[in-house]
Amino acid sequence: MKPLANIVALIPAYNEEESIGATIQALFRQDRVPDRIVVIPNGCSDRTAEIARSYLVDKSRLIVMELPKLEHKKSEALNRAWQAYGQAADLIICLDADTILPENAVAEWEKEFAADDTLGGSSSKFTMLGHNFWTRLQRSEFAKWTDTALRRGYTTVLAGTGCAISNKALHEVVDTTERKGPWSYDSQVEDFELTYKIRELGYRCQVSPMVRAYTDSMTNVRALWGQRMKWQVGTVEDLMALGVNKLTRIDWWQQFIGLFMAFIRVLWISVLTIQAALGELSFGVFWWMCVPLFFAVGEGLMSLRIPHRDKIDILMGFTILPSEIFATVRSAWFVAAWVEVLWSKLTGGRKDRWELQYKAEGSTVRPSVPLKVLGGN
């Protein structure tokens, strides 16, 4: 197995002064340090660029490519950095500026791509650390996502949180789309669209069985809503543009399930309300004890697979109420996103979900993540 000669890490950053230092440090601590690390502060109004430049010990390895506020935001930042520093690479690693990679990450990705020419992209198993109520729910959510993707053997999204992509595949995307770089300016979820293009070329995209990454969570409903509305609106827009085919059918199915579960929740509340109004509300043992107990056991067993779990994570799983709260909020953003997309189709207007997410994330609190406590797998 021949090692890859050139690995380049791209880190777009928007107002990430609290986290960019740890992200850079984690890359320099790698068993296999990337040959070039490109930090791309774009439109920052804080000290992100200044802090990144403080790590310029080896100027041949670390580059700070500071840019003004870009029209196409993260996608344009990535494309400019790829054009300037990434075109000759064998492997491109994409990281959010609040992502920390354990020391084994780059070496494991290198092994995966060196061993398989058909591998187009490998996403990390990303998780969140912290004790916030919403952080715990997101940690559980992404544990389920990871297990599902590993069991399925592929992923439809190479998460920009932390992933590695074959540069050969990126060049082919550019050649076949004739756009300025691999990342689309039309999509609000550039990771999903790019993954589709890579898979369309015949490459495999997977969640790495070996590489974990740690990232910030949304610590309140406002921040979570802003993030997920961008993800969901962007995904629906892309699916409507791509249509139904063998590469999108599982994503369409997930949309159907999400909307169906929202309908079931509304129907259940409506039936209970009507029964209460008619004085016919009854509390049968089956519906009020057996069914919740069944789902509580399922959620509880799943909580045993959450990375870095503690007793509270397990308790939240077996009591089911926290996961039901999260599921209800999730149903709400599924419905809201579909309404927004369909309305935009009728009116021709489109919200800038990037800006709305930035504003919402301003209310979240970043936990500190000690580098030494992170495990590899």
Mean local confidence (pLDDT), 24-33: 95
Q: Are residues 117 and 199 in the same domain?
A: yes
User: Minimum mean pLDDT among 7-11, 70-74, 338-342, 356-360: which range?
Assistant: 356-360
For the record, the structure tokens of 154 come out as 């592929």
Domain that holds residue 81: 7-217
In a domain, 101, yes or no: yes
Is 202 found in the same domain as 64?
yes
- Same-domain status, 211 and 261: no
How many domains does one find in the chain?
2
Nearest to 124 by CA among 96, 146, 144, 97: 146
Check whether 176 has a pLDDT greater than 80: yes
- If asked whether residues 141 and 284 sit together in one domain, one would say no
pLDDT band with cut points at 50, 70 and 90 for residue 356: confident
Within a domain: residue 97? yes
CB atoms within 10 A of CB 321: 11
Least confident of 38-52, 189-203, 293-307: 293-307
Structural domain includes residue 369: no
Asked whether the predicted pLDDT for residue 137 surpasses 50, the reply is yes
Confidence of residue 288 (pLDDT cuts 50, 70, 90): low
**42 and 133 inside one domain:** yes
Question: Same domain for 67 and 171?
Answer: yes
**Per-residue model confidence (pLDDT) at position 371:** 47
Same domain, 211 and 352: no
pTM: 0.90
Domain-located, residue 241: no
| Close Cβ partners of 104 (under 8 Å, ≥ 6 residues apart) | 30, 31, 210, 211, 376, 377
CATH of the domain at 129: 3.90.550.10
| pLDDT for residue 292 | 64
Residue 60 within a domain = yes
Report how far residue 88's alpha carbon sits from residue 137's, in angstroms, rounded to the nearest whole number. Answer: 40
Quote the CA–CA distance of 204 and 373 in Å, as a whole number.
32
DSSP readout, 23-88?
HHHHHHT-SS--SEEEEEEBS--SSHHHHHHTTTTSTTTEEE--B---TTHHHHHHHHHIIIIITT
Using the predicted structure, report yes or no on whether residue 46 has a pLDDT greater than 50.
yes
% of residues, the chain, pLDDT over 90: 70
pLDDT interval class at 373 (50, 70, 90): very low
- β-pairing, 162-166 with 91-95? antiparallel
Say whether both 142 and 47 belong to one domain: yes
Same domain flag for 69 and 205: yes
Q: Tell me, yes or no, whether 206 and 300 share the same domain.
A: no
CA distance 24 to 58: 12
Q: What is the pLDDT of residues 237-285, one digit of tens each?
A: 999 999 999 999 999 999 999 999 899 888 878 877 887 788 776 666 5
pLDDT of residue 97: 94
Per-residue pLDDT at 274: 86
Largest distance between two CA atoms of the chain: 76
Mark whether 342 and 291 lie in a shared domain: yes
pLDDT of the residue at 370: 47
Same domain assignment for residues 337 and 195 = no
